Every structure is written in structure tokens, then in C-alpha cells.
Structure 1
Amino acid sequence: MNQQSPRLPDSPMIDLQGVTKEFLKPSGEVHTVLRNINLRVAKGEFCSIVGPTGCGKSTTLSLIAGFEAPSLGKVQIKGEKLEGINSRASCVFQTENAFPWKTVIDNVSLGLRLNGTSKNDAFQEARRWIEKVGLKGFEGHYPHQLSGGMRKRVALAQCLITQPEILLMDESFSALDVHTRHLMENELLKIWEETSASVFFITHDLEEAIALSDRVIVLTAGPAATIKGDYRINLERPRNVAEIRFDKQFAELHEQIWNDLRDEVMVSYASANNA
């Protein structure tokens, strides 16, 4: 088996240092979502984060995106403290992000056009990305004319056309059927391997996390969630996400990580029942 990819440098693309995030409840009580999170993600690294529902996975992504600021600690992107929205990052969420009144090529080219690229140049680049995600011939279609998997391909092209250094994905494939999901996971890996983007991927599916990632991070149950485990996934690349699940090392990793994750899921479940 191949060891960790040599392309990953020592300096992190994403660096969370002692990050704590608190919110004020309507009652005036302080609710701590995350506590003392220390996490580095290297350039070109694919990092997934798993944990019980409500443990702060999406909050962590929001801190990296710059949608939220930490209550304590700091977020650094490429060695610089993050202030405001992270201009180096693009996001793919579970919900659709294409404008329903715009065609595929209009949606995919929008980011470039908003950045000042001419319509002709933006369309030319959009056609390249539309073909790259397997949607050649659908440039003039509207989102409602596409399947769920095809709309996810549009979302990937929308984000990647701007060549982000960081790709943030929050349960991006969870609404898809299992076969379409595997196709999209393989498509994501194929495109990612052609770029140097760092990926921060949220999922509830531990198998998906292992199949895609260089690392899997396990968060404890909330409140005040922190990092419980940080696992290196030394599975050979390139990978087929459906086939890699039958690898003996995959099964061993799954058992090891699930032992950590299961305990936190049970804590979360007991807490919810006692609420």
C-alpha cells in the first residue's frame, strides 16, 4: 500500500489553534459548541470530519469559511489570520445552490463573471468544467431538467471553476441514492486529484469518510465537543470508493475508527433521551 502522499507540505493550508466557539442562548445562557480545537489541514489534503449529530461539524466548517468567528483561539489560512469571509474557499452544501432561472452554463460561469471575467471567456471556461464533470450537452438545461446527481455535478463545477485553494463540503452527497452517490464520490476524487485543493468534508457516513480521505477526524459528542481521534488513511490511490470498501485494511480502519465514534454516538443518544 502507498503511504501518505508526498505532495503534502509541512505548512498547513488550514490551521485552527485552540479554537472555542460559544453561542448565547435566548435565556442568556452561554452554550459552548466547540472547545479547544487544534487542527491542521495541509495543502492538497483530503480531510473528513465525523461525529454525532449536533457535535459541531458544520460549525467547524463555518469557522474555516469565515461565516463565524471563534470565541477563543484563532483560524489561520495559509499562515494568515482569517478575518471575515475566506476568499480562498468555496462551499458545496447539501441543499441546491444553482439559480433555478439560469441554465447550467449560466450557473457554472457566474463566479467568474462576478469576478470580472468577460462573458465569452467565462463561458469558454464553463464549457471546459461542464465537460470535466460529465455534463457536456446539458449547457442549456435548467436545474429542474436535471437529476439530483447532475445538479451535484453542476454544484462541483460552480465551485471548482474559480480554482479555490480550499473546498468545503457539508453532507454534499447525503441526499443521493447509493449508486449515484458512489459515482459522485469517484467524480470528486478524480477532479480533486487533478488539483492542489485542500478538502474539508463533513459526513455522517464513516465508510464514505474513509473511502475518500487522507485523514478522518472524530469529534466528541456535544456540548463543548473536541477532537477525540485523528486517523491517517493510508489506502492506495487512485481509489474506487465502491471497491475500496472490500479492502482488508479498509475494514481494519473502519473497526478502529468506529470504536471511537460509537462511544460518542451513544453519549449523544443518551443525552438526547434525557433532555
Structure 2
Amino acid sequence: MIELKGVTKEFVKPSGELHTVLHGINLQVGKGEFCSIVGPTGCGKSTTLSLIAGFEPATKGEVRIQGEPLSGINSQAVCMFQTENAFPWKTVIDNVSLGLRLKGVKKSEAYDEARGWIQRVGLKGFENHYPHQLSGGMRKRVGLAQCLIVQPKILLMDESFSALDVHTRHLMENELLKIWSETGASVVFITHDLEEAIALSDRVVVLSAGPGSSVKGNYRIELERPRNVAEIRFDPAFMRIHEQIWNDLRDEVMISYVHAANH
């Protein structure tokens, strides 16, 4: 579904100096696969997501979607960021139905579809509430419904649940897994939290410390599904995987820390 072939991304700093964020990234995400990307701060996780979304082009190499080179915005993908997706002046049903309305679907049909998604994310009865009347977790549910109502083939998530308290976060993670299993979308999930990455994913990719980050590790997560993210962390197999990936990640975090201290 997604392939990055030898992708390098460079920026020109205000000083005129060339800064390499990613160097020679090779990454594949299969149809319906849940892939998380972890790595130290500043390693280019969000930049990788931007390249897949088509927000910016690769400097070198190629991004391919379903075998075709990506040019411009990725029409197969939707994004869910750390910040709120919802428009504050629109009700829940207007926010959730917006994607369909922009595609030309009639208001009554879009509303019918939106009601179904609002129920699926556990917000039945809140259709006419505004975002400021909802808790943080409820607003994330609105964001999830907003993304999934258009039935994307690719869901890109950048630290989407990081602002939530731990209990709400676990509820949202389980909600995401339940809906993902029903939709068959390919997910690329960016997180700083290794436990979250393992609990959710089929595969965890570790990026090396920047600048010029590359893929340091690529781990299949052989844990049974369906999973309860709060409970699977106590599974001995989970702990073994965590230790294995952390050994890779810890080295990169230390390199990143030393680099930041010296600059």
C-alpha cells in the first residue's frame, strides 16, 4: 500500500546551510497493516508522515502508493494530528459529515452516514453538541469519526492520543483497534511511547537519531488479536518484545540527547 524507496529529505536552514532530516529511508506498509514509527525527538517521524501524506516531496528517492509514484497530496490518506481536527463553530454531526459534504454527498445522506459513525465511536446523543462542550477524549472520538467516515485506504496518525490522560488514552486505543479491524485501512502511527506502539501494531519501525535519520530496526509484533491495550502490557511476550526494541531505541535516544546537549 505504501512504499518509501531510498527516501532522503533535506531542508535549507535560514542560515543557508543544508539540513538532512531523513537519509535513504526504505519502508513498506502492507494493505490493512498497522505500523508504528518510533524514535528519539527530532528524528524525522513527522516528516516521514508528511511525505506519505504528500504535504511535501522527497528530496531524493520515491514515495509510492499502491505501486504508483506519489505526486502532490495523497488522495488515499487522511490525517489525524495531536491538535484538534474539529471546527469549533460546527456541531459534532456537522464536523463528522464534513468530509462527505466536501465530496459532494447530499446533506441528508451525509448526516445519515455521520450518525452511524457517531454511534460507532460512542457519541450517540451528542450529535448537536459543539467541541467546547465535550471532553478531550470525546473530541478525539469526533476526530476519529471525521477521518474514517470517508473510508480512507490509509490512516496517518501523528501523536494523536498523547495529550489524553492514561485511562482515556487506553479507551481510545482500544476504540481505534476495534474500528481499524472493521475497516481494513493501512495505518501509520507516530508515537514517542514504545508501549503504545507495541500494544497497537503489527510492526514497529525504529528510526535512528537525527540528523540524517534512517531505519535502525524493523520488528514484527507477533501478539494475538484482538488486544486490550491496558492488559497486553503484562503479557510476558509483550515484555520480551519491549526489551528487544528498547535496546535499539535506547542507544538512539542517548545519541540524540548528546547531540542536543552539544548544540
The alignment's TM-score, normalised by the length of structure 2, stands at: 1.00
What does 1:1-275 correspond to in 2, within 5 Å? 13-275=1-263
Q: Secondary structure at the match of 1:90?
A: strand
Task: Give, in angstroms, the shift of residue 196 of structure 1.
Answer: 1.2
Q: Distance in 1 between matches of 2:231 and 2:184?
A: 25
Q: Which amino acid aligns with 2:221?
A: I
Per-residue CA deviation, residues 17-75 of structure 1 (Å, 9 max, x unaligned), is 00000000111111000000000000000000000000000000000000010000000
Task: Give, in angstroms, the shift of residue 247 of structure 1.
Answer: 0.4
Task: Give, in angstroms, the shift of residue 197 of structure 1.
Answer: 0.3
Runs in 1 of length 4+ with deviation above 4 angstroms? Answer: none
Percentage of matched positions with identical amino acids: 79
Task: Give, in angstroms, the shift of residue 251 of structure 1.
Answer: 0.1
Task: Give, in angstroms, the shift of residue 195 of structure 1.
Answer: 1.1
The alignment's TM-score, normalised by the length of structure 1, stands at: 0.95
Q: What is the total number of aligned residue pairs between the two structures? A: 263
The equivalent residue for 1:10 is none
Q: Distance in 1 between matches of 2:152 and 2:60?
A: 27
Task: Give, in angstroms, the shift of residue 240 of structure 1.
Answer: 0.1
Q: Distance in 2 between matches of 1:167 and 1:125?
A: 19
RMSD: 0.3
Q: Distance in 1 between matches of 2:56 and 2:218?
A: 24
- Tell me, which stretches of 5 or more residues in structure 1 are unaligned? 1-12
Q: Which amino acid aligns with 2:76?
A: R
Task: Give, in angstroms, the shift of residue 194 of structure 1.
Answer: 0.3
Q: Distance in 1 between matches of 2:183 and 2:82?
A: 23
Task: Give, in angstroms, the shift of residue 158 of structure 1.
Answer: 0.2
Q: Which amino acid aligns with 1:36?
A: G
Q: Distance in 1 between matches of 2:14 and 2:156?
A: 30
Task: Give, in angstroms, the shift of residue 107 of structure 1.
Answer: 0.2
